[in-house]
Amino acid sequence: MSIIVNLDVMMAKRKMSLNELSEKVDLTLSNLSILKTGKAKAIRFTTLEAICNVLDCQPGDILEYRGTSPDH
Has residue 8 been placed in a domain? yes
Has residue 72 been placed in a domain? no
Cβ atoms of residues 25 and 47 within 8 Å: yes
Has residue 70 been placed in a domain? no
Q: Domain count of the chain? A: 1
Among 46, 71, 54, 47, which Cα is nearest to 13's? 54
Has residue 46 been placed in a domain? yes
What's 58's domain CATH number? 1.10.260.40
pLDDT, position 67 = 82
Q: Is the pLDDT of residue 69 over 70?
A: no
Average pLDDT, the chain: 93
Q: Is the pLDDT of residue 1 over 80?
A: no
Has residue 71 been placed in a domain? no
Has residue 39 been placed in a domain? yes
Residue 50 sits in which domain range?
3-65
Per-residue model confidence as pLDDT tens digits over 26-47: 999 999 999 999 999 999 999 9
Q: Is the pLDDT of residue 72 over 60?
A: no
